[in-house]
Structure 1
Amino acid sequence: MRVAFGVLAVAALVTGYAGLRAYAQGEPELSATPLNLLYWTLQLFVFDSAPLEAGASLPPALEFARFAAPGVTVYTLVDGARLLLAAELRRIRARESKDHVVVCGSGAVAIALIERLRETAERIVMISAAPVTEWGDRKVLHVAGDARSPSTLRAAGVQRATTLYACEADSSMNTAIALAAHDMARPAAGSHLSTYALIPDPELCAALRARRLGLPDRPRLRLDFFNLDELAARVLLERHPVENDRPVVVVGLDAFGRSLLVEIARRRRLVSPYGERLPVTLIDGRAGETAESLCRRFEFISEVCELTAHDVGPADPLRYDLLPGRVPQRVFVCYADQDLALRTALTSRTLWHCGPGSLVVRVEQAATFSRAFEGTRLLEGLAGALQIFAINEEAGDPRLIAEDLVETLARAIHERYLFDAARRRETPDTNPSLLPWDDLPQRLKAANRGQAEDIGRKLASIGCVLGPRVGPDLEFVFKDHEVERLAKMEHDRWLGEMVRDGWTRGPIRDPARKLHPDITDWDDLSEVAKEKDRDTVRNLPEILSSVGFQIVRVA
């Protein structure tokens, strides 16, 4: 429609000029200079062209133009009013939205997140300082402004939102957005806002999550921080798992490469706690130093992985002698610079012989590359070895982000339980709780979450806090009286949870009838049951270290 009226406007301008020139030839008193003709033609668009006041007969071209030009003007006014009204209606809809999702940012992470949210969310409000292209549906509304400003957050209806994602490129900005939204939602009656802030630096993310978990009182509103590299490492290993004892090669130890190595070791410990160590070759300009630092933070890496580090920069060629003797099951190219990662994969012939789907390259976004590689079959000569993995699209998943720190720790608690059960040679036939986290009944998941949420309160009671684990320099061991005190606190927490769920005391554990022999006060508890709670406390430092935290005594 706009194109048609644009053509009509040009036609009115041309025919109006030509018609006025022909008209002026029959009116000697008119000074028909080119500028005057142009001025009179433009006047047609505002219903007022001076030469037409004489009332003489008009040429056909001018007759057409004097109706077409005002018609274009009327259409423009109506369309402008419609756009203004639509923009105002969008602002009102955004401000008055309820139970919606707010996404702050206009970068690749925010766009990928919105694309995922469009599948499930009824309404999404996007906040960005820069103009954005309209999404073309009524689900996504845009609010222009600084998301740290209370007025901008109010314009996005954050008081009535269910979830807010702060996805700007700067960690401090995302933290400020999350805290501002948290403070705005706090006074609102019945507010249930969950706020997630993207922190690109893994160490800073761990520090902020440690402070959040270390709060002695459970926050009324949900506030958490997430790191895209950590989430992407989990998704990558689910998509391209390390399944056997053949070697693994990691090229590039930027944030994603480091997160990937930690996740490989964590999963290896679960499936093979006492088996042969997995050979892992690390190739990076500072591979040796980075590997040593990671092993200090996460001791289990060296327990389950046999690391071989080669200090080879990205400018140096990957020689055959750098790779393990056996053909690797996976080669992960993890450079943060996606052009460098692709160049490494496409120019290092030593990596092309690992088998179909074994060469995985990290990029920011897959849309461009997938069209180039899959649509035109550009890499057909590599026998399908190369796989593109886009962290923004794969990890920008609201379901993954929603698995906050409490969920991460609950998983770690269950993984420790599985690890101890494997040491005792237990099997799912003898212990039905020995299931992967995703297959665990909701009741048992909730029990692990409750234990994780209570860590901050327990530590505060003995003058300790949670911090990011940067090395083994501050090794922590509970004192005997602290173990006893925290074990009693854990039993009291568990007891309250079970009673609220309707359990009562019985001679044997019977989930169907909700009977349990430990539904009693600490003093009346059997020594075996007490020791179980003590072991839960003693295992806490190792559980926390497995996810990058440590206990620090401050008082």
Structure 2
Amino acid sequence: MGAKPDGFVLRHEWTLVGLLAVLAYVLGFTGFAEVMMFGPDADQHSWWDVGSATLQLFIFETPDATAHWPLYLQIARALAPMVVLYTAASAVWKVVNQQVALYGLLFRKRRFVVVCGIGETGYRIARDYCLNSDKRVVAIDLDPLNALAAELESYGAIVVHGNAMDPLVLMKAGVIYAKELFLCTSDDKANIAIAKNAERLTRRLDTRDIERLEQVAKRHEQPVAGEPPHLGLRCFLCVDAPDIYEVFAAHSFFETNTARFAIRLFNRRETIARNIFNTCAPDLYYRPKSVSDEPMHILFIGFEALVREMILQTALTAHYTDFRLPRITVLCPADQQTRINRFLHRYPHLDKTVEISFVHDDPMTITESTWRRIQEVSHFSVCYVGLESDVEGILSARRLNRLRRLSAMPALNFVVCLNQQNFLAEIIDDDFLPIGLDKSHLPEHEPIEYFETLDQTISIDIVVNEALDVLARTLHNAYLRTQTYLGTSAEQNASVIVWSELPAHKKKANQHAAAHIDIKLRLCNCVAYGADAAAPEVPFPPSDEALEQLAQLEHRRWMADKYLAGYSYGERRDEDRMLHPDLIPWEQLTEADKEKDRDNIRQIPKLLKLQNQKVCQLDL
């Protein structure tokens, strides 16, 4: 849809209407005063009669014979009814327009999207569609005074006020004919209920309806990463609560993928954390190469859901050629202890992937002595701030940076992860600079980056097109081609299916493997560039020694992945009991198992070529 209207008339429509109404009244009053108060029958009229007669112009109550009226009274006689008619027509059109627009969706089947819940998340995905897509947007929100919904309306969205849990509201929005359905209310349970109602509504489509809708979708949808697009309704369900996500991630309903309906659980915090580590990975600030270097030591401020997800990302990706566990210090208030206990209980093998400790203090009031004490073993390599309050997050980073300078301690980079959950975010983030992969140009006196979590993550590209999973999808597609070549069928191997149909836990395994490829490249001073880049392609891995190091690193990364998934060592592989015989140090692996890890490293240039990329030397 088009951009927000900015014409003078549109922006000042009702101001102009009001001025015309005043002008009509003034002209009418002046004219009637001349005719009634200074005419032949002046002694029969009062000023009250003049005012009453003027008002009657607006309700079409005027004499038929007006030959003796002055010109300005004739103008008022025509202008006043026109103002009334325009106002009435606008009021009626405001009511009818929504019904007309909703009816028009019948001619745009599979070419519009429905967004339920216009909060900070729903608003951003709807705005992205309005401004950067040819799909129409239907926004459903319970609050008729929601300013974000009103803004979307100005972008061209159709706003339906009502409870999205009501099937009648979903039917009114034409959800069964939509291409995508986004469930972004603030209540995770409500989102799940809406998804279930939407799935039930799609069952009403008969075979002929499905065929017609598929024909429409085929004409307007393009393949995504080489895969044919899903031709039915795709539902994206935003879940924030980790407990609810864990319960429903493996539920059969959330693996639904039919011609009518497909659903995807969208873990907003996890996706944001992955996106943060995509552009602000710890090794972009400091990279230990051997045990003679200081270990990776990461500071997290706060223990909200986003910080917990970033700790997991650290455990999954922060593996370097010093072959030591990364250190994590979490600075948070003491009232977070219950959350800490539950988190550690949820991931009982976390200590096998990171060395984690907690300091209960307030970053706004922490003393210099405490600041020094928590860095006695090693200085912090980077600090991630993930507080619920954006203002407190910004002030905490700035205060700790000042304390670092006053204490004459080594440089420390800060990444402030802005929550963007209230209107203040629109004000305080106006001057923040874009974040790049090159961190060498950050100002030495204040090396602070501000990551706008929702603006950077909630978009069509990341939520719908899964931009963060391009490499993971390439990994799976390469595996799929190999298995197909070998004649393996889906009955023999449940993973021999397209990416879109892959279960969530198998997608995650590919995601975790893909997320570490860039780190492996950087460890060898390499980077992935486009195939048409001027930089020459270089061999990867650069040497046999590097191959062996990276293969060992890949095994450690794989072990961390398994540990966080809940696996333990067992002499025999048992998926039900979550036991695996390869959860052992590299030195104890068989040569055949080591060769598998080496092959994974050798495959990296081929995988990048499938993405039209090549390995080049990193400019230092």
TM normalised by structure 2 equals 0.61
After TM superposition, the structure 1 = structure 2 runs for residues 347-386 of structure 1, keeping only pairs within 5 Å, are 347-348=399-400, 349-350=402-403, 355=411, 358-364=414-420, 366-373=425-432, 383-386=445-448
Amino acid at match of 2:161: A
CA contact (8 A) 1:182 1:223 kept: no
Contact kept, 8 Å, 2:397 with 2:414, in 1: the verdict is no
Aligned position for 2:116: 104
- Corresponding residue pairs, total: 438
The correspondence for 2:243, drawn from 174, 193, 203, is 203
Per-residue deviation, residues 417-439 of structure 1 (Å, max 9, x unmatched) = 999xx9xxxx9699x9x999xxx
Q: Given that residues 162 and 192 in structure 1 are in contact (C-alpha distance below 8 angstroms), is that contact kept between their aligned partners in structure 2? A: yes
Segment of structure 1 superposing worse, 168-177 or 125-134: 125-134
1:506 — aligned with what? none
Q: Name whichever of 398-407 and 65-74 sits farther off.
A: 398-407
Partner of residue 161, structure 2: 144
- Give matches, 1:55-454, under 5 Å: 55=66, 57-80=68-91, 82-94=93-105, 96-99=107-110, 100-118=112-130, 119-120=132-133, 122-131=135-144, 132-135=149-152, 140-188=157-205, 189=207, 190=210, 192-212=232-252, 221-243=261-283, 244=287, 245-269=295-319, 271=320, 275-286=323-334, 290-291=339-340, 293-299=342-348, 301-313=350-362, 316-317=365-366, 319=368, 320-325=371-376, 326-348=378-400, 349-350=402-403, 355=411, 358-364=414-420, 366-373=425-432, 383-402=445-464, 406-407=503-504, 409-412=506-509, 415=512
Contact 1:21 1:32 in 2 (8 A): no
Using the TM superposition, give the Cα deviation of residue 264 of structure 1 relative to its aligned residue in structure 2, in angstroms.
1.0
The amino acid that maps onto 2:178 is: A
Q: What is the SS of the residue equivalent to 1:257?
A: helix
Residues 433-479 of structure 1: CA distance to partner in whole angstroms, max 9, x if unpaired?
A: x999xxxxxxxxxxxxxxxxxxxxxxxxxxxxxxxx9997xx88999
2:51 and 2:358 map into 1 onto residues whose CA distance is: 77
1:121–1:201 CA distance, 2 compared to 1 (3 A): farther
1:436-475 paired onto structure 2 within 5 Å: none
CA distance in 2, matches of 1:340, 1:171: 26
Structure-2 change in CA distance of 1:106 and 1:278 (3 Å): same
Asked if the contact 2:420–2:453 (Cα under 8 Å) also holds between the matched residues in 1, the reply is yes
* Partner Cα distance (1:417, 1:59) in 2: 82
The C-alpha deviation readout for 1:188-213, integer Å capped at 9, x for no partner, is 24372221222221121111113248
Residues 343 and 134 (structure 1 numbering): CA distance in 2 closer, same or farther, change over 3 Å?
Answer: closer
- Following superposition, the deviation at residue 332 of structure 1 comes to 0.9
Distance (Å, rounded) in 2 between the aligned partners of 1:6 and 1:332: 53
Is the Cα–Cα contact under 8 Å of residues 246 and 278 in structure 1 kept in the other structure? Answer: yes
CA positional deviation for 1:185: 1.4
Corresponding residue SS for 1:133: helix
Q: Quickly say closer, same or farther: Cα 1:477–1:345, change in 2 above 3 A.
A: closer
Q: 1:16: how far off?
A: 1.1
Identity of aligned residues (%): 20
**How much is the aligned-residue C-alpha RMSD, in angstroms?**
4.2
Note the residue ranges of structure 1 that are not aligned, 5 or more in a row. Answer: 437-468, 487-527, 533-555
The residue aligned with 1:15 is 27
Q: How many angstroms does 1:252 deviate by?
A: 0.2
The separation in 1 between residues aligned to 2:74 and 2:515, in whole angstroms, is 88
Aligned to 2:438: none
State the alpha-carbon separation in 1 of the partners of residues 348 and 387 from structure 2. Answer: 24
d(CA) in 2 for partners of 1:69, 1:142: 32
Which stretches in structure 2 are left out of the alignment for 5+ residues? 1-8, 211-230, 288-294, 435-441, 467-499, 521-539, 552-562, 579-591, 597-620
Aligned 8 A contact 2:316 2:512 in 1: no
Give secondary structure in 2 for the equivalent of 1:249: strand
In 1, Cα distance between equivalents of 2:399 and 2:514: 45
Structure 1 residues 290 and 338: CA distance shift in structure 2, 3 A: same
Letter in structure 1 aligned against 2:333? G
What SS does the corresponding residue of 1:223 show, helix, strand or coil?
strand
Contact 1:330/1:360 (CA < 8 Å) preserved in 2?
no
Distance 1:417 1:160, change over 3 A: closer
Taking structure 1 as reference, are residues 407 and 284 closer, same or farther at Cα in structure 2, changes over 3 Å only? same
Structure 2 CA distance for aligned equivalents of residues 311 and 43 of structure 1:
74
Separation in structure 2 between the aligned mates of residue 97 and residue 283 of structure 1, nearest angstrom: 52
Query: 1:85, CA displacement in angstroms?
Result: 4.9
Distance (whole Å) between structure 2 residues aligned to residue 183 and residue 410 of structure 1: 27
8 Å CA contact 1:329–1:354 kept in 2: the answer is no
Aligned to 1:539: none
Following TM superposition, by how much is the alpha carbon of 1:300 offset from its aligned partner in structure 2, in angstroms? 5.2
Whole-Å separation in 2 of the counterparts to 1:315 and 1:268: 28
Quote the Cα distance in structure 2 between the aligned partners of 1:351 and 1:97.
58
Asked if 1 retains the 8 angstrom alpha-carbon contact of 2:249 and 2:504, the reply is no
Give the conservation status (yes or no) of the 8 Å contact 2:254–2:265.
Answer: no
* 1:540-555 equivalences in 2 (<5 Å): none
CA distance in 2, matches of 1:73, 1:381: 61
CA change 1:15–1:289 in 2 (3 A) is closer
Alpha carbons 2:234, 2:263 under 8 Å: kept: yes
Deviation at 1:73, TM superposition (A): 3.2
